[in-house]
Amino acid sequence: MVISEVMAALTLPGVEKSARHVRVFARDVLREGHPSLGDVQTCVNEAFTNAIEHTASGRDGRVTVMFSMVGGDIVAEVTDDGAAGARPVMRDDPMAEDGRGLRMIDALSLAWGVREDGHRSTVWMRFPGPPPLR
């Protein structure tokens, strides 16, 4: 059994200027100096941007960002208002104009995926947790 501990959650309007708040929120939760902070900020920002560009969250909707600890790792989740059944897909062509955000998430996280919950969808990303205390 994997124990999960929710660290923090924040729901924001699905507008472009909220992306800055997502990065600050990640920094506040993980704290300056955490070895995964830059990767977490980049990936959560990309998932947030995808949510407001490709789902109902960008049309007067909302996006929820949540951080939890699972098995010693940090799990970041970005939940949107749904995309009418469409799922995030990483493009085959690494040089494609679109789809680079998911490539970054794939490269910077330990694992990632998509979970559907009714009409809403969640992109989850797993990162190394804090180093053990000595």
Tell me the CATH number at 93: 3.30.565.10
Strands 120-127 and 62-70: unpaired
Number of domains making up the chain = 1
Residue 25 lies in a domain: yes
- Name the residue type at position 108: L
Q: Beta-carbon neighbour count of residue 61 at 10 Å?
A: 17
Residue 134 lies in a domain: no
Look at residue 128 and give its three-state secondary structure. coil
- Taking alpha carbons only, the member of 69, 79, 90 closest to residue 116 is 79
Q: Name the pTM for this structure.
A: 0.87
Residue 40 lies in a domain: yes
**Strand-pair partners of 70:** 4, 73
Q: Beta-carbon neighbour count of residue 131 at 10 Å?
A: 8
pLDDT band at 10; cut points 50, 70, 90: very high
CA 32 to chain centre: 18
Range of the domain at 103: 4-127
- Is 76's pLDDT higher than 70? yes
Residues 6+ apart with CB under 8 A from 100: none
- Alpha-carbon distance of 51 to 6, in angstroms, equals 22
- Is 33's pLDDT higher than 90? no
Residue 132 lies in a domain: no
Residue 88 lies in a domain: yes
